[in-house]
Structure 1
Amino acid sequence: MEMIASNFAELLHPITLLIIFAASLVGIFLGAIPGLSGGLGVALLLPLSFGLDPHVGLAMLISIWVGGTSGAMIGSILLGIPGSPSAIATTFDGYPMTKNGEVVRALGAAITASFIGTFISIIVAAFLSRILADLALKLGPWEYFSLGVCAISLVAALARESVFHGLAAAALGLLCSSVGFAPIDGYPRFAFGNMYLNSGFDLVSLMIGFFAIKQILMEFARGSQVMPEFDAKTITGFGVTLKDYTSNAVNIFRSFMIGLWIGFLPGMGSGLSNMVSYAYAKNSSKHPEKFGKGCIDGVFASETANNASVGGSLIPMVALGIPGDGTTAILLGGLMIHGIQAGPLLFTNNPDIVYTLFNTALISAILVFISQFFGMRLFPAILKVPYQYLYSAIVLLCYMGVFVGAGTEFNFIIMLGFAILGLLMDWARMPVGPFVLAFILGPMLESNLRKGFTYTDQGIWPFFTRPISGILLALALISIIWPYVKPLLKKSQGQSGERESSLAP
């Protein structure tokens, strides 16, 4: 306990605290810009941390990550353009709330949910990292494959149009994810001799094309460039009522557990957790028809889950030396460069580093919360910018984000290609969610599927006979057939009720 207090005192030193605050603001700024993210900020500032004290350098990187994860919701809510994959599901209801004139309410819900997810997940990770990491070690490729299938099936089954459209979109996403070198043997596929396609389609280019360029094209085509009106003087508190919190208590808790669980599964992260939690929230809601039209429940679900993944992702990195996602992989590299070996011995050899990681995340979560609370009065001001200037600036930032993320002009073509594909999918009534989720999970699914076949001579059966894997596949099957079975059950119940009433004297 004395070491924890000492570490807190060190982090609260004015200079160190200023660095944490500045890094958090940088993270929020990068997270809000389409194509950039807190993870990119960690990568860009990683060399700068080498010349700093390990505690200060790691504190700076952690703060950027926390700020970027939370800041990604700003673009999702105000413009319908997610700053990173972790905020894709936030666009589904956050942007419709903005168009409905509820921008402050959406921002307030997202800011609160982000703080709850980050702060509590860090506390849980600090106390349970070793225990939860031991559970993750017991999962093999069979369970990881089944988890991915279950996630995609659940999201596809909740598609607005039909299960068929959702599964078709997921299949198209899996097809696009297979472009490039195969994950096991490195064989190039669907590259057609183009060296730029050997590494596959870039996720940043896909995301910007799907959500930014397509959105702008659709707004111009519909002639709906008028931004909603708002008066900053009327903003009080978070714009969210106590009833909103109480009615979403179960939703927030469930989304938190989903984000924490998916976060500490290596290779998963917030890009998956926000989609899965949104799907569960819609499936469990008493009014699922409101989702996608401006329902605050969807904002609470996605933002709680993606920020809970921050604490979850730290668990395997600290306890096992295994990165939970791409950002923690960069952080792991930073530890190694400073001569610190992550893993079970980290708690014994460098307990001060462990406390620095968790304490910094807690401090940064509080600073991000305060910054966004006051910034909430300024964020909606972007809606007052004339659309001809706003959209031009967004397109410019999109091209910059694609180039910074990939370093090649060829990805401009990919971005425009996915924008056109997004328009065609809208015309065919194919939802975007299953496509993006399948694209993100595609390499993981293929890799674990092939590992599952090679790790045993029993073929496909371990995917069904291993308890956790079998349960996940069963849930996937139920989620697909349930939308077809549910109307039949209601119809049969209605007919039986009519029969009983006709027989009554």
Structure 2
Amino acid sequence: MDPILQALWIVIDPYNLAVMTLAGLFGMFVGAMPGLTATMATALLIPVTFFMPPVPAVAAIVTATAMAIFAGDIPGALIRIPGTPSSAAYVADSYKLTQKGQAELVLGCCLVFSAIGGIFGSLVLAFAAPALAEISLKFSSFEFFWIAIFGLTCAIFISTGHPIKGMVSVLLGLFIATVGIDPTAGQPRFTMGSVELLGGIDFIPVMIGMFAISELLRWVLGTRKVETLQTKQLGSVFRGQWALFLKYKWNTFRSAVIGVVIGFLPGAGSDIAAWVTYAISKKFSKEPEKFGTGHIEGVVDAGTANNSSLSGAWVPALVFGIPGDSITAIVIGVLYMKGLNPGPTLMLDQPEMLYAIFIVFMIANIVMLPLGWVAIKLFRHVLKVPREMLMPLILMACIVGSFAMNNTLFGVGIMLVMGIIAYLMEENGFPIAPTILGLVLGGLVENNFMTSMMKADGNVLAFFERPISAVLGVIVIAAWIWLIWSMIRAKPPLVTDEEASVT
């Protein structure tokens, strides 16, 4: 118990708590701004951590990351622009709940269940880190290929009523992911002689364009009625959350577990965790037809998995020195800089520092509740701004977010082009969320497939020779067979009133 008590004494130092509070507010701001990701929040904090001792430096990164992931839900619910890629999985439900006058419920749900997922992930990190990290080391390129394919399959499953259109949307995302230099052959693909395209197309300008610019176009052109959101003052965002937890307690536990498992797989992260849990939630829901129309169940599940996956990503980073995602890759550098060498020896040489990190995770997710409440109260004023003033401000924020990725106007151009494409897609009933997932997972699919094929000397059956890979492969193939069979047996979808009005 001595190392644990020593770690607790280190963490509750007033200086550390003040650092966590300021970092949390910074993370809230970054997460709520479209185009500014949790990874960017971490990167921007690195220069500040140079002047900090090890524990407050790590505490600042942990707190800012957790807050940024949650804060991405706020603009998604209020103006249909997800602040972070992981929030895109359920932005349709959260925004439509706001349109129905339930902004208070959905924002409280995002806050509370993000905290629950984060606390659960922290407990898993503290008690099961070595065992989970050992499992993650058994995953090779074969297993990661199947996981990525399963994520793409989930995108098709969540395409309400039109799997074919969902598949086309995924294929568009995969095509965009192929633009740039072939990672295997080193040859440029679909670059059309453009130097900027040699580096590929970043998903941040694409996400901003497809969610934000398409909404702006819809408002400017007036092709579809833009509902006036409820502008009444929000009451307690915590009202009704206990009832939600009792109703979806098993969903919450299931999503927290899935989030942690996906999190500790190197290269996965909160984006894939959100999409996979949303698809699983829809699959096992008693009301799957309500998903995408303003149903809170998908928000509960994906919101829980978001933050639980963050803790999972730290398992391989702390125990074996292997980054679980882009954020922990940055953190490993910070740990080395502070003299904390991540790996098996960390528990033996400096156990109090490792326990301090576990306690920081727990406190960060508890602090999320009051800080999140403040963020919601401040951001809600966006509902009171007239659309004629709000839309130009949103456009300016989108331009800044797209420009900031590479400090060039090329990102702004990508944003505008993808905004037009997304507008045309939605007007014709094609979902845009699967395109984002296809772009995010495209590189993961290609790299792991090519690596596996080179390992196996072109033998496709090698994808089924390893036990874990074989199980994952069978699951994915079974899901595709079930999907195709359901499409064959299904009756032609009825034209909804909304689609009729569009045509």
Measured against the shorter chain, the TM-score band is over 0.9
Q: Is the 8 A contact 2:252 2:300 kept in 1?
A: yes
d(CA) in 2 for partners of 1:154, 1:43 = 30
Superposed counterparts of 1:142-153, under 5 Å: 142-153=142-153
Residues 41 and 65, structure 1, Cα contact 8 Å, conserved in 2: yes
Question: What is the aligned partner in structure 1 of residue 5 from structure 2?
Answer: 5
Question: Distance in 1 between the 2:37 and 2:490 partners?
Answer: 46
1:329 is aligned to 329
Aligned partners of 1:449, 1:57: CA distance in 2, in Å?
37
Amino acid at match of 1:231: K
Q: In 2, Cα distance between the equivalents of 1:15 and 1:163?
A: 53
* In 1: Cα distance, 2:190 partner to 2:340 partner: 41
Change (3 A) 1:225 1:427: closer
Alpha-carbon distance between aligned partners in 2 of 1:222 and 1:275, rounded to the nearest angstrom: 29
**For 1:299-310, what aligned pairs fall within 5 Å after superposition?**
299-310=299-310
CA deviation profile, 1:389-432 (whole Å, cap 9, x unmatched): 22111111111111222211111111111111212222342222
8 Å Cα contact 1:157-1:480 kept in structure 2: no
The match for 2:252 is 252
Q: What do the CA deviations read for 1:334-371 (whole angstroms, capped 9, x no partner)?
A: 12222332122222233233223222221111111122
- Contact 1:105/1:239 (8 A) holds in 2: yes
TM-score, L = length of structure 1:
0.92
1:326 Cα deviation (Å)?
A: 1.0
Q: Structure 2: how far apart are the matches of 1:340 and 1:186?
A: 37
CA contact (8 A) 1:99 1:228 kept: yes
RMSD of aligned C-alpha atoms?
2.0
Deviation (angstroms), 1:248: 1.1
Match runs of 1:376-455 below 5 Å: 376-455=376-455
1:443 Cα deviation (Å)? 0.9
Shift of 1:185: 4.2
Tell me the equivalent position of 1:113: 113
The equivalent residue for 2:320 is 320
Secondary structure of residue in 1 paired with 2:344: coil
Are the aligned partners of 2:10 and 2:356 in contact in 1 as well (CA < 8 Å)? no
Alignment partners' CA distance in 2, 1:484 and 1:41: 42
Partner of 1:71: 71
Deviation per CA, 1:247-284: give whole Å up to 9, x if none. 21121112111111111110110111101111111111
TM-score by length of 2: 0.93
Deviations 1:213-248 (A, max 9, x none): 112222332464553224326x23513254422221
* 1:232 matched to 2:201: no
Question: What's the counterpart of residue 278 of structure 1?
Answer: 278
Task: Note if contact 1:97-1:294 (Cα within 8 Å) is conserved in structure 2.
Answer: yes
The amino acid that maps onto 2:201 is F
1:44 maps to which residue?
Answer: 44
- What displacement does 1:487 show? 7.9
- For 1:158-169, what aligned pairs fall within 5 Å after superposition? 158-169=158-169
3-state SS, counterpart of residue 345 of structure 1? helix
Q: Report the Cα distance in structure 2 between the residues aligned to 1:186 and 1:5, rounded to whole angstroms.
A: 53
- Classify 1:430/1:490 alpha carbon distance in 2 versus 1 (closer, same or farther; 3 Å): closer
Give the structure 1 partner of residue 497 of structure 2.
none
Quote how far apart the aligned CAs of 1:111 are: 0.7
Distance in 2 of aligned mates of 1:354 and 1:192:
50
Identical aligned pairs, as a percentage? 33
Q: 1:351 matched to which residue of 2? A: 351
SS in 2 for 1:154: helix
- Partners of 1:18 and 1:451 lie apart in 2 by 46
The answer for unaligned runs of 5 or more in structure 2 is 492-503
Counterpart in the other structure of 2:495: none
The match for 2:294 is 294
Q: CA deviation at 1:158?
A: 3.3
The number of residue pairs the alignment matches comes to 490
